[in-house]
Chain A
Amino acid sequence: QITLKESGPTLVKPTQTLTLTCTFSGFSLSTSGVGVGWIRQPPGKALEWLALIYWDDDKRYSPSLKSRLTITKDTSKNQVVLTMTNMDPVDTATYYCAHSGLLWFGAFAFDIWGQGTMVTVSS
């Protein structure tokens, strides 16, 4: 059974850097075709894809946020970390990590999601 869980601060100040960790189980990020992505959702608004890292350490970023995002993986710890710099109140959202199976579900389809973690940006 695949599970993912996000962790990190619930409150960050403007201009600070946000670091979120996705800890997963039930799969290995060294298996061909597997990826883990990050998606966020501001309160009452739509989903927005942020970043995706694959088993081979290939990384993809949303063009509009690419300069602020870094995604990394630690295969031995079953973790994926997302950092977002220069946080702003508009970045207030629920941040989700999700499993992606390129060989099973195609490009950028996320079949299993974490519960999400709410991050508020405020001074």
Chain B
Amino acid sequence: QSALTQPPSASGSPGQSVTISCTGTSSDVGGYNYVSWYQQHPGKAPKLMIYEVSKRPSGVPDRFSGSKSGNTASLTVSGLQAEDEADYYCSSYAGNNNSVFGTGTKVTVL
């Protein structure tokens, strides 16, 4: 099972939007609506930001939104803030009771 493909980096100025892609196959991202996104600050544990493609857990700002088209899922952070600077990982159910994470994207707030 190969890792989902994410761009290594993305950036934006405060107040702008940044979108991160997560590309898989029809056996994972494209086949199920079980895509999650995690935010990880340096030295910290990941935090669930989006589940089931576009749903936000309680407490996650609505600046964070998720979507999916075909085999590619996306996370958009609107109104970028300094605290959004972190690594972001996507994850997808991959069938046969298996799960796969993405390669990770470092978001920089300029």
A residues apposed to B, CB below 8 Å: 39, 46-49, 52, 60, 62-64, 96, 105-116
Partner of A109, one of B1, B48, B97, B100: B48
Q: State the CA gap A64–B107 with chains docked (Å).
A: 29
Instruction: List chain B residues, Cβ under 8 A from A115.
Output: 45
Q: State the CA gap A116–B48 with chains docked (Å).
A: 15
Q: State the CA gap A46–B101 with chains docked (Å).
A: 8
Instruction: List chain B residues, Cβ under 8 A from A49.
Output: 91, 99-101
User: How many A-B pairs with Cβ below 8 Å?
Assistant: 74
Q: Is the CB of B34 within 8 A of A46?
A: no
Q: Is the CB of A46 within 8 A of B102?
A: yes
B residues apposed to A, CB below 8 Å: 1, 3, 32-34, 36, 38, 45-48, 51-52, 55, 57, 89, 91-93, 96-104
Contacts A46-B103, A63-B1 given; does A96 touch B51 at CB 8 Å: no
Name the 5 nearest CB pairs between A and B, nearest first: A108-B99, A113-B45, A109-B51, A47-B101, A60-B97
Q: State the CA gap A48–B38 with chains docked (Å).
A: 13
A48 closest partner in B (C-beta) = B101
Q: Is the CB of A63 within 8 A of B51?
A: no
* 8 A-B interface contacts by CB (under 8 A): A39-B101, A96-B46, A105-B48, A107-B32, A109-B48, A109-B52, A110-B46, A111-B57
Known A107-B32, A112-B48; 15 more pairs at CB < 8 Å: A46-B101, A46-B102, A46-B103, A47-B91, A47-B101, A52-B99, A96-B46, A105-B36, A106-B36, A107-B34, A108-B36, A109-B48, A109-B52, A110-B48, A111-B57
